[in-house]
Amino acid sequence: MSTPLLLQALAGLSLPALGAAVLTGGRLRRSATAAEAREAELRRELAELTAERDALQRTASCDPLTGVWNYRHLQLTLDREVERARRVDPGAPPRPLALLMLEIAGFDAVVAEHGRGRGNAVLRDLAQRLSVEIRRSDTLGRYGGEEFLVVLPDTGPEGAAHVAERLCWTVRRHQLLDWSPAGPAPRRPVSGNGLTAAVGVAVLPEDGGHAALLLRAADRALAAARAAGGDCWRSPADAGPAVTGGQGVREAGPEVGPGAAAEPVGNSRTGHGGSSRPELAGAVRSDPADAPRTEPQQIPGTLSPCTGKATLTPAGAAHTPAVAAEPGS
């Protein structure tokens, strides 16, 4: 066969193969485009499912009234932090862990005067205000009614005392919604805002080695603070015979005069450290007229309700901290 005939035969055979290759390439490009569109659709659906999951997780873990963590999340957090505190090298003491049980008194008068709706608004505003008084690593949640629980990892007795003192002061000096400059004429009590806080303090390992014991110890301490008249904090040791009179000062604690100011003690915002139980007295109710007109050190809060390492929607947008009243007002 001559060369021209061979070339013509090869050209005739290659044309169908070339057409098939072009068709195959077109199909592959269309398949790739469809796969990319499908992948984008799947990613969009995955993002929507993730957002819905985070919203459901947030709803299941947050208190709907106050916007802070609820009882379920508090139990899970406390169990996790207790296990973390006890996870140390053999022979080493457990890491410190403090638990505060806080009860707010005085809401009955607010509800009686303004109604349940306004009372709930005041409770939510106060819960938001308390949440900025602790560290980002701490957990504040509603335990039930007007009771709140605060979990303080890596916090000893001294740091827990500082936080309890500051929370009592915050409740006492909180600016109620009705007393804002744009609101109606205020009908303020003679001293403070009519709200007080009683705080029970329990520390691991001194007061218990697991969550149930810590909760029981904090509840006993809260009962002692309530029996002392509120507006103070107590430890489980104060629930015994050491609590005397209305002041409930520890036997080993420093003397506190009748006109002593009940201002926050120290600043434990950046660390509530301490490994030994301090010989401190609980907060003492004092007359605001006798208290010095000094403003405690104000440090911007970093905690938002319902925040943490979980993939939850940040609650900073819903955070509406109130402005505390001037100490001398």
State the CATH number of the domain containing residue 134: 3.30.70.270
- Count CB neighbours of 134 within 10 A: 24
Answer yes or no: is 131 within a domain. Answer: yes
Answer yes or no: is 103 within a domain. Answer: yes
User: What is the distance between the alpha carbons of residues 244 and 188, in angstroms, rounded to a whole number?
Assistant: 32
Q: What's the pLDDT tens digit per position in 279-313? A: 333 443 444 344 443 443 433 333 333 443 333 33
Torsion of CA 104, 215, 161, 93, to 10 degrees: -170
Answer yes or no: is 37 within a domain. Answer: no
Residue 1 reports pLDDT greater than 60: no
* 201 SS3 class: strand
* 104 SS3 class: strand
Q: Which residues pair with 116 in a beta bridge?
A: none
Percentage of the chain exceeding pLDDT 70: 65
Q: Average pLDDT of the chain?
A: 74
Q: What residue has token string 């002061």?
A: 169
Q: What's the pLDDT tens digit per position in 219-229? A: 999 999 999 99
Answer yes or no: is 205 within a domain. Answer: yes
Work out the average pLDDT over 74-103.
91
Answer yes or no: is 39 within a domain. Answer: no
User: Would you place residue 3 in the very low, low, confident or very high pLDDT band (cuts 50, 70, 90)?
Assistant: confident
Q: What's the pLDDT tens digit per position in 111-138? A: 888 888 888 999 999 999 999 999 999 9
Residue 205 reports pLDDT greater than 50: yes
- Strand arrangement of the beta sheet that strand 139-144 belongs to: 139-144, 147-153, 97-105, 196-204, 232-234
Residue 272 reports pLDDT greater than 50: yes
Q: What is the span of the domain harbouring residue 285? A: 62-318
The pLDDT value given to residue 187? 53
Q: CA Rg, the chain, in Å? A: 31
Answer yes or no: is 207 within a domain. Answer: yes
**What is the number of structural domains in the chain?**
1
Could you give phi then psi for residue 193, rounded to 5 degrees?
-115, 5
Task: State both tokens at 75.
Answer: 């139990």
- Count CB neighbours of 17 within 10 A: 9
For residue 97, give the nearest of 256, 274, 224, 253 by alpha carbon: 274
Pairing of strands 196-204, 232-234: parallel
Residue 265 DSSP label: -
**Higher per-residue pLDDT: 97 or 22:** 97
User: Would you place residue 164 in the very low, low, confident or very high pLDDT band (cuts 50, 70, 90)?
Assistant: very high
The pLDDT value given to residue 119? 87
Q: What's the pLDDT tens digit per position in 14-52? A: 777 777 888 888 888 888 888 999 999 999 999 999 999
Answer yes or no: is 31 within a domain. Answer: no
Residue 252 reports pLDDT greater than 50: no
Answer yes or no: is 285 within a domain. Answer: yes
Q: What residue has token string 């001559």?
A: 2
